[in-house]
Chains A and B, each alone.
Chain A
């Protein structure tokens, strides 16, 4: 294991790199002139990032994840209540796993 000083230095390095990724998106956009096309891109980007978070994760996790996603989506369509959809989706998936 690394010494305490080296460990702290490594953590500081990771923190700096991670903050750079957090601030970097805003920083880059300062240098991109805003236009309707850029704004449309950013709007599509938000949804696409979420899709890219959900689909591969569900694919890797399998049936329980698809059940959670499907139940939550149906509740959202029917009732538009995020927390309710979240709880029901996760609960049905947990019940499926317990079967």
Chain B
């Protein structure tokens, strides 16, 4: 099957990602509530969710949302929290390199952890349509924006609802499922162990939000070095 980008792929991605709608919506609600909590106007919170679509960096921005805007810290924090996207994008390259550049760069517009993971899993099962990443991202984007709007309007809901149903755990659990499916006997154990140790070490010793980058790079390097030594 050749590499392509089509509406069918978008539809498939959207359909197979639909199961996260409720939890992304509720995460959006917590962001909307938190944004109103620091005094941000509702429309500003909604505009941010629609344009940025990256929860971690948006929560980080709330700490810095004041007049005058601290431009340097705001943009550096946004980069630091989202730098892990660099690794996600790089991992898609062997597949996306078969697309025209504009399609390649359009397809990653809504790249985030969960739809990347879903797309990697679909690729392993034979998916070759980059629209899959867009469709699965669109579902999350719509739920994130709708949740933010609802949270900004209501602003009385709390994160307790999220925790009561375990919905705050859905991504961690989802990523663990994909790991089980992805694991190759004997090959992945060492690099993944290195990734875990590096990520936890980074959590303790590096500034916040660098642990995914540290773990990802450490595990990747460990795997290549181990293979070279064989």
B108:A23 contact, CB within 8 angstroms: yes
A67 CA / B180 CA spacing, docked (Å): 15
| A2 pairs with B216, CB closer than 8 A | no
Q: Mark A49-75, 1 if CB is under 8 A from B, else 0.
A: 111111111111100110011001100
B142 at the interface (CB under 8 A from A): no
Secondary structure class of chain A's binding surface, majority of residues: helix
Contact A41 B220 (CB under 8 A): yes
Give the size of the chain A interface in residues (CB under 8 angstroms): 72
Contact partners of B191 in chain A: CB under 8 A: 44, 47-48
A94 to B66, CA, bound (A): 37
Contact B172 A68 (CB under 8 A): yes
A26-B105, A72-B177 given; A53·B188 CB < 8 A:
no
| Contact count band on B | 35 or more
Given known contacts A22-B85, A26-B108, A46-B120, A3 and B215 CB-to-CB distance under 8 angstroms: no
Judge whether A68 and B121 touch: CB under 8 Å. no
Can you name the residue of chain B whose Cβ is closest to the Cβ of A26?
B89
Complex Cα spacing A66 to B118, Å: 21
From known contacts A14-B51, A45-B220, A53-B175, infer whether A25 and B212 are also in contact, taking CB-CB under 8 Å.
Answer: no
B168: chain A residues at CB < 8 Å are 61
In the complex with contacts A25-B86, A90-B167, A44-B61 CB distance below 8 A: no
In chain B, residues 34-74, which have Cβ atoms closer than 8 Å to a Cβ of chain A?
39-41, 44, 47-48, 51-54, 57-58, 61, 65-69, 71, 74
Instruction: Give chain A's interface residues, CB within 8 Å of chain B.
Output: 1-4, 6-8, 10-15, 17-30, 34, 37, 39-61, 64-65, 68-69, 72-73, 76-77, 80, 82-83, 85-86, 89-91, 93-94, 97-98
Residues on B lying within 8 angstroms of A by beta carbon are 19, 39-41, 44, 47-48, 51-54, 57-58, 61, 65-69, 71, 74-75, 78-79, 82-94, 96-97, 104-105, 108-109, 111, 113, 117, 120-121, 163-183, 188, 191-192, 194-196, 198-200, 202-203, 211-224, 227-228
Can you give 28 A-B contacts (C-beta < 8 A)? A7-B41, A14-B75, A14-B78, A25-B92, A26-B90, A26-B104, A37-B228, A42-B220, A44-B191, A44-B220, A44-B224, A45-B91, A45-B219, A47-B192, A48-B191, A50-B178, A52-B195, A52-B211, A53-B172, A54-B172, A61-B168, A61-B169, A72-B177, A76-B177, A77-B180, A86-B177, A89-B173, A90-B173
Give 8 A-B pairs besides A54-B176, A56-B203 with Cβ atoms closer than 8 angstroms: A11-B52, A14-B61, A18-B52, A18-B53, A22-B89, A25-B86, A49-B219, A68-B172
